[in-house]
Structure 1
Amino acid sequence: MDIINDYLQFLLVSNSSILCNVSLEELEAIFLPLDEDAEFIVYPNKRSYSFVQCSSVEKAITVRSELHGLIPQSLKNSHQLFIISFVQNLPKAKKSENFRPADLEVVEDYVSEQIEKELVDLLINHPEGKLAKICMLSYFYFLVQSLKHRAVVHFGHVFDYSTNSASEWKAADPIPPVINTLIDKLMSEKYITERPDQITANVYEPGHGIPSHYDTHSAFEDPIVSISLLSDVVMEFKDGANSARIAPVLLKSKSLCLIKGESRFRWKHGIVNRKYDVDPRTNRVVPRKTRVSLTLRKIRHNPCECKWKEFCDWDRKGEMSVPSSEDLALKLENSYVSDVYENIASHFDETRHSSWRAVKNFIDEIPRGSVMYDVGCGNGKYLIPKDGLFKIGCDMCFGLCEIASKKNCHIVRCDALLLPFRDESADAAISIAVLHHIATFERRKKMIEELLRVVKPGSKICVTVWSMDQSKSEYAKMRGNKDEQLTENETGGKSDRLKVHDGKDFQQQDVLVPWTIDQQGETYLRYYHVFRDGEAEHLIGNVDDCELVSVEKEQGNYIIVIRKNCFSSN
């Protein structure tokens, strides 16, 4: 760059982010003396650089010449050098101000300064006995009960953090007049129709947050009311059916937030532990201050009947339980396997092209001229290759059968547990990613027996299922949110209830796994029974007239090869 027109006024500054222990205030103190009109784009985490927009090209040249390759004196000597580059444009901001969960309502300036002061004064003068600690709040101190990440006071009834609920038999201090006045205002303006009877006041110091969670469906009525005081904060909402879909929502001081409908029952909400937030309207990083939030809830007396039953903890007569009978299993498979694949067939076809290495090796070893069945063939990807085999595929999904048929595949529509093929009519069979959609042990066993029935004695069958252990799978990050925090009452292990899978690690074997067609929320839930280590061996050990040849692990899948006995009773 030899002339001034070759330079630009936009600078990328490496080693200058909050991740590198450089705050926005420190950046401003370093750059503004050189260009008092400079503007900044910084990131609260995950990036090691910031952007500076200088007021002119001349100022940008000056800034770079003064700071490039140096450690500013105001930073620690151990800090890395600032590496400054000219860039053509600043990154386009991904503003989220128009993206909020359905039914969420935020009202700014809902609480007057006078009411804010009265609420804060109430907390200042509230003793909490032996568990109290002194917590600084701006220019004064007050006593509050201590939690791990925040301080809390309850009114009406005590919130039980072990169950995320409140008991009518465990009373807290009466709801004070200033909060009752606030409730009267909410009711008169039709924001709520019933008086809340459980009030939680939380105090958040900068850097503190709360893990992403649902307010328990069975414990509280709709809506959940949140009032923010003293400081702004960004609350993150995460779609329970699509963990990659996150909506940051700015809750300004004195604002009202009504978490209701879909935003309450389907979306998790939480506050990330950090000292800065990105304003989703401007992408400007702003420091947090001490914040007080009031959460107002109404204890539920009747069963929850929300339409988001997959995320609801209410029993609903066992509708969302892991099935224990043939009838319940068939009902589950119809709703969360068959119906789902009919809806996603076209998108499924767009995403399924590559073959598993172990499955391809199995097919390559079948003698040319042999007959092979592909049970649950999907879009026909294993039927298409011209490899000298006579291949017939079948699938329960009509949409996928149509797709495979248009690719000149030989297709039959049928149930994998009731194949329309003659006994001992094939030389081999495969069933890829089907068995884990079968909801009980007896039905999984029946499917293996049906595969064995249609192949000749001595023939091999290849079956694949998802593994519960996805830790070594390169696709693990694609199957959920890698940084999801568990709520205080969430634990792993066996559960009698189906849960929506939300994370790269499976917490239980029977789960509903989201299939997302787009990032706008068109998401379907598929039922899976993911296999534990040794479970394939146990299943095949309970099936007659066969032997287990091998179980191989490939990218989070078990590849199971079975041989039908030469002297089979089938």
Structure 2
Amino acid sequence: MGLPRFTRPKGVSAESSPNLYVANCGPAVGLSFDTIASAFSTFGEVKGVYAADESGTRVIVSYSEESSAQTALKVLDGHPCPELGGRCLHIRYSVFQPPSQVDNLVPVSLEASELNIPGVYLLHDFVTAKEEEELLAAVDGRPWRSLAKRRVQHYGYEFCYETRNVNTKRHLGELPPFVSSILERVLLFPNLDDAANVVLDQLTVNEYPPGVGLSPHVDTHSAFEGLIFSLSLAGPCIMEFRKYSEGVWPSNPASEKNVENSENSSNFSRKVIYLPPRSMLLLSGEARYAWHHYIPHHKVDKVKDILVRRGSRRVSFTFRKVRTGPCQCEFPPYCDSQI
């Protein structure tokens, strides 16, 4: 089945849809989703702005009320919008054709507080659009290592995918200067009691093409300390968290393929959050040690009944602190050092 498309309703009245397909508008022409939402909010409450395709020049603006969409189309279609740099927009109504493969079995949260998982925090707009552009340019100017479905870069210490661990005897050097401001900023992360003691020394950069995700896993307890920061750039995605019953916890990496395929298992709890570009996710405590995290292999995610395309790429910067001794966390049934 091909990618689902946003389509224009046929033979229906102007009030038929609260969703607008807007062309000549998007990140590729220098307009952030927040800027677009602000401009369109003049006509009513905007539920969200989403990429309509991978071009970066077309978006879906979703209103809470159909009447708001009707007014916005009447005022803005074919006319320059001062709030968007005077760009002349081309607008049509849009309806969604949600395919079964992107139907989530659990609702998608927009805020970490909605998950009710101790230790999960999410900060939106952790970096600016300009900083995002500079970070992407910095990694694109350095060599990538190709894996089966994605590309990676490692700094500080190399992550070994075969063992899901790091070789502490092989130090690659300090983290690159282009992340210095990020390292300073994480020290100010809310709800971080031991912020002054955070010395992150390992960075993995992942580039995900459309449709590529991440298998369910917990970062190995004995490999890394208790704080994991992940910055999302370029494209959005959803992340699912799974907490398994102690008796079915996958005790070795080889079993994780079975974990990924157990979509309908009753042996785990599931919760899902939406990660927009430029957001920073923190996993700590229970969330870091006892919950698998997983990025479904989708090209389109369903968020609050809206289909959100992931874009042409998503790049994540994951910062961690390498552990030099055994883990002594409070979750021994899930700990490779204590099993």
Report the TM-score, using the length of structure 2 for normalisation: 0.62
Between the aligned partners of 2:202 and 2:125, the Cα distance in structure 1 is 23
User: How far does the alpha carbon of each residue in 1:519-556 deviate from its partner, in whole angstroms, 9 at most, with x for none?
Assistant: xxxxxxxxxxxxxxxxxxxxxxxxxxxxxxxxxxxxxx
Q: Output aligned runs, 1:403-418, within 5 Å.
A: none
2:232–2:315 Cα contact (<8 Å) kept? yes
- The amino acid of 1:220's aligned partner reads F
1:149–1:210 Cα contact (<8 Å) kept? no
2:210–2:299 Cα contact (<8 Å) kept? yes
Deviation at 1:35, TM superposition (A): 4.7
User: Helix, strand or coil: the match of 1:264?
Assistant: helix
Q: Output aligned runs, 1:364-513, within 5 Å.
A: none
Between the aligned partners of 2:11 and 2:147, the Cα distance in structure 1 is 42
The answer to whether 1:38 aligns with 2:62 is no
The answer to whether 1:206 aligns with 2:222 is no
Between the aligned partners of 1:156 and 1:95, the Cα distance in structure 2 is 34
User: How far does the alpha carbon of each residue in 1:286-336 deviate from its partner, in whole angstroms, 9 at most, with x for none?
Assistant: 11111110000100123211111111000x3xxx3xxxxxxxxxxxxxxxx
2:210–2:310 Cα contact (<8 Å) kept? yes
Deviation at 1:39, TM superposition (A): 5.4
1:220–1:299 Cα contact (<8 Å) kept? yes
1:95–1:283 Cα contact (<8 Å) kept? no
Aligned to 1:160: 160
Aligned to 2:79: none
For structure 2, the residue ranges without an aligned partner over 5 or more in a row are 20-64, 68-96, 98-105, 246-265
User: Helix, strand or coil: the match of 1:262?
Assistant: helix
User: How far does the alpha carbon of each residue in 1:45-72 deviate from its partner, in whole angstroms, 9 at most, with x for none?
Assistant: xxxxxxxxx979xxxxxxxxxxxxxxxx
Aligned to 1:442: none
Provide closer, same or farther for how the CA distance between residues 94 and 199 of structure 1 changes in structure 2, counting only shifts above 3 A: closer
Q: Which has the higher contact order (CA 8 A, sep 6+)?
A: 2
Deviation at 1:195, TM superposition (A): 1.5
Deviation at 1:102, TM superposition (A): 1.7
The answer to whether 1:266 aligns with 2:290 is yes
Deviation at 1:95, TM superposition (A): 5.5
Q: Given the alignment, which residue of 239, 242, 250 partners 2:274?
A: 250
Q: Output aligned runs, 1:291-330, within 5 Å.
A: 291-314=314-337, 316=338, 320=339
The answer to whether 1:103 aligns with 2:94 is no
- The amino acid of 1:38's aligned partner reads S
1:157–1:171 Cα contact (<8 Å) kept? yes
Provide closer, same or farther for how the CA distance between residues 22 and 252 of structure 1 changes in structure 2, counting only shifts above 3 A: closer
Aligned to 1:220: 224
Q: Of the two, which has the highest radius of gyration?
A: 1
User: How far does the alpha carbon of each residue in 1:382-426 deviate from its partner, in whole angstroms, 9 at most, with x for none?
Assistant: xxxxxxxxxxxxxxxxxxxxxxxxxxxxxxxxxxxxxxxxxxxxx
Identity %: 29
Aligned to 1:180: 180
The answer to whether 1:278 aligns with 2:302 is yes
- The amino acid of 2:322's aligned partner reads I
Between the aligned partners of 1:233 and 1:288, the Cα distance in structure 2 is 6
Aligned to 2:128: 112
User: Helix, strand or coil: the match of 1:245?
Assistant: strand
Between the aligned partners of 1:22 and 1:33, the Cα distance in structure 2 is 24
Deviation at 1:118, TM superposition (A): 1.7
2:299–2:310 Cα contact (<8 Å) kept? yes
1:107–1:256 Cα contact (<8 Å) kept? yes
For structure 1, the residue ranges without an aligned partner over 5 or more in a row are 1-19, 41-53, 57-81, 83-92, 128-143, 321-570
Between the aligned partners of 2:13 and 2:296, the Cα distance in structure 1 is 33
Provide closer, same or farther for how the CA distance between residues 244 and 109 of structure 1 changes in structure 2, counting only shifts above 3 A: same
Q: Given the alignment, which residue of 4, 24, 29 partners 2:5?
A: 24
Provide closer, same or farther for how the CA distance between residues 94 and 152 of structure 1 changes in structure 2, counting only shifts above 3 A: closer
Between the aligned partners of 1:292 and 1:277, the Cα distance in structure 2 is 17
Provide closer, same or farther for how the CA distance between residues 171 and 94 of structure 1 changes in structure 2, counting only shifts above 3 A: closer
Report the TM-score, using the length of structure 1 for normalisation: 0.38
RMSD of equivalent CA atoms: 2.7
Between the aligned partners of 2:327 and 2:229, the Cα distance in structure 1 is 18
Between the aligned partners of 1:293 and 1:149, the Cα distance in structure 2 is 15
1:218–1:300 Cα contact (<8 Å) kept? yes
